[in-house]
Amino acid sequence: MKTEEITRQSAISQIKNLIESRSEQEIQNLLDELKPQDIADVLESSPPAQRTTLWELFDESHQREIIQHIDEDVVLSLLSDKSGEQIATVLEQTDDDDTADILQRLPADLIQEVLEAMDAQDRSRVENLLAYPEDTAGGMMDTDTISVRPQVSLDVVLRYLRRHAELPSMTDSIFVVNSTDEFVGVLPLATLLVSNPALTVGEMMVTKIEAIPADMSEHDVAAKFERYDLVSAPVIDQDNRLLGRITIDDVVDVIIDEADHSILGMAGLNEDSDIFAPIVKTAKSRAIWLGANLITAFIAASVIDIFKDTIEKVVVLAVLMPIVASMGGVAGSQTLTLVIRNMAQDELFNNNLAWLTRREVAVGAINGCLWAFVVAVATSILFNDTRLGLIIAAALVINLLTAALSGALLPNFLRSIRIDPAIAGTVVLTTITDVVGFLSFLGLATLFYA
């Protein structure tokens, strides 16, 4: 375990004990030793009551430093009882894109109150960001940019940069715009520092840069950063005018969110970043998919009910049924996960989906025959019934083939009807493998034992 992780865990443990003993001064001394990023981790890792107690120990200047590193959902819990003016004060030094993300989660009347409490320049920048959906390039971008004209010399650019107290974070290039603020290229800082100062920006700028449209989805933005190893990228409107920039730290957040979405979606959970969210809120978000799963369970149960007479005659069928359904579910989940992952990485298209489907069906057939043989032999020996072994073997092959085919085709189908395959895929696939497994196994048993 890394040293900083040990320090953070130790701090959380110490703070918990100090809160219980009401030693506020000792808590303050401990927090003073931590960086704002570490304090943000401590807040996110603390239950709501402790979190509020800790937050109130900081004055507004410290809160402004810390809040930049706290997840938006946790920020809302910290600011829920504040006025619009108090929220505006705390968000004063926060990046515009982070401020917009936080405001979008607030009630409409409170958003307006916060905006009115901001100075005119900050309000204008944030309102421009609020015009774009949160999951687009326009919603991600930061309006704090440095731009120059192509006709000025590099010496002028250097003198212009020295007038700034500091450059915007993650600045690796300066954006070049014409007299109407249309984006024309970028001037890398590395080029600026090593080139002849007498040369012009137009002579040294890089024009083979594909700017990001403001309406591009955050998923496509992340894919572009990954493909071209970008640190920052310009964002433009439909008229090619420079609006702002997106930096790699924002893209990392998107990548983490998408990974969380894929992992949690498989369990029917949303990517709620606050692990200490209220009980009622958490229960509501999970109840929907528990209800959906209950419906699918009733569907599978209705299939079993069709063959209840057969089960009464051959009771051992009830013992073996879960094997068929379980094997199909696991095989289908393997294919489903693979397909969803490749879809998320934009590596799966119509022209290679057919090949992947054929491969997965072939793999399903091989594994189906292999494990069908194993299960058939074991069943025949355990229950002294060769016919029963053949029945379950045939059912296994059928279900594994169905699982492979469903796992390959289901994500694309769900996406075509605007349903997120990461969330709904597992529920639908489980229903298919359960129904086909029970239907094939009990149907064949009814046929042979009738």
CATH number for the domain including 362? Answer: 1.10.357.20
Residue 42 lies in a domain: yes
How far is the C-alpha of 262 from the C-alpha of 142, rounded, in Å?
Answer: 27
- Band of pLDDT at residue 71, cut at 50, 70 and 90: confident
Residue 273 lies in a domain: no
Q: Is 259 left (phi over 0), alpha (psi -120 to 50) or beta?
A: alpha
- The average pLDDT across 37-49 equals 80
Give the CA distances from residue 267 to residues 114, 216, 263, 264, 288, in Å, rounded to whole numbers and listed in that order: 37, 29, 7, 5, 12
Range of the domain at 221: 147-265
Packing angle of the helix pair 218-228, 248-265 (nearest 10 deg): 120
Residue 179 lies in a domain: yes
- The average pLDDT across 260-268 equals 68
Do 187 and 156 sit in the same domain of this protein? yes
Alpha-carbon dihedral of residues 303, 309, 314, 315, nearest 10 degrees?
Answer: 70
Residue 274 lies in a domain: no
Predicted pLDDT of residue 272: 57
Name the more confident of 176 and 18.
176
Residue 271 lies in a domain: no
User: The domain that contains 133 carries what CATH number?
Assistant: 1.25.60.10
Residue 394 lies in a domain: yes
Do 100 and 154 sit in the same domain of this protein? no
Which one of 219, 235, 265 terminates a domain?
265
- Band of pLDDT at residue 244, cut at 50, 70 and 90: very high
Q: Which residue in 411, 432, 412, 413 sits closest to 422, CA to CA?
A: 411
Residue 300 lies in a domain: yes
Do 254 and 304 sit in the same domain of this protein? no
Which one of 100, 120, 140 terminates a domain?
140
Predicted pLDDT of residue 12: 61
Do 240 and 300 sit in the same domain of this protein? no
Predicted pLDDT of residue 418: 85
Predicted pLDDT of residue 3: 46
Do 193 and 112 sit in the same domain of this protein? no
Residue 363 lies in a domain: yes
Do 425 and 324 sit in the same domain of this protein? yes
Query: Phi and psi of 321, rounded to 5°?
Result: -55, -45
**Token pair for residue 402?**
């169905």
**Token pair for residue 302?**
């209705």
Do 231 and 368 sit in the same domain of this protein? no
Write out pLDDT tens, residues 332-375.
999 998 998 888 777 777 778 889 999 999 999 999 999 999 99
Write out pLDDT tens, residues 91-142.
877 877 788 888 887 888 888 888 888 888 888 888 888 889 888 999 999 8
Write out pLDDT tens, residues 194-208.
999 999 999 999 998
Per the CB < 8 A criterion, the answer to whether 187 and 157 are in contact is yes
Number of domains in the chain: 3
Do 87 and 155 sit in the same domain of this protein? no
Q: Which residue in 220, 237, 232, 250 sits closest to 95, CA to CA?
A: 250
Do 283 and 416 sit in the same domain of this protein? yes
- Looking at 140-149, 260-269, 291-300, 392-401, which range is the least confident one? 260-269
Share of the chain above pLDDT 90, in %: 46
Quote the mean pLDDT of the chain: 86
